Amino acid sequence: MATLQDLLAERQQLDLQIARMQSEARTEAIATVGRLMAEYGLTISDLGAKVNGRSPSTLEGKKVTVNYNNSASCELWSGRGV
């Protein structure tokens, strides 16, 4: 009969093997999706991807109001990223 230490060591090896196989499967899936997108000329927008609940095309070129104004240095910031 296996000891607790034997089972824990076996579980650790299985966890490593599972993580390795998941990583390989993910890499393979990404390559397949990229190949299909290139083959059919698809973009992220074609896939219906959303950024913060909106499709990327609705965010492009959209002006936002200035929320922060540093009058000393004339810096303006909308509260969004760069």
What pLDDT, on the 0 to 100 scale, is given for residue 15? 96
Q: What is the pTM of this model?
A: 0.52
CA distances from 35 to 11, 19, 41, 42, 44 (A): 36, 24, 10, 10, 13
Q: Where are the domains of the chain?
A: 1-42, 53-82
- pLDDT per residue as tens, the chain (82 positions): 899 999 999 999 999 999 999 999 999 999 999 999 999 999 988 888 766 666 555 556 677 676 667 777 777 767 666 5
Report the DSSP beta bridge partners of residue 51.
54
What pLDDT, on the 0 to 100 scale, is given for residue 50? 67
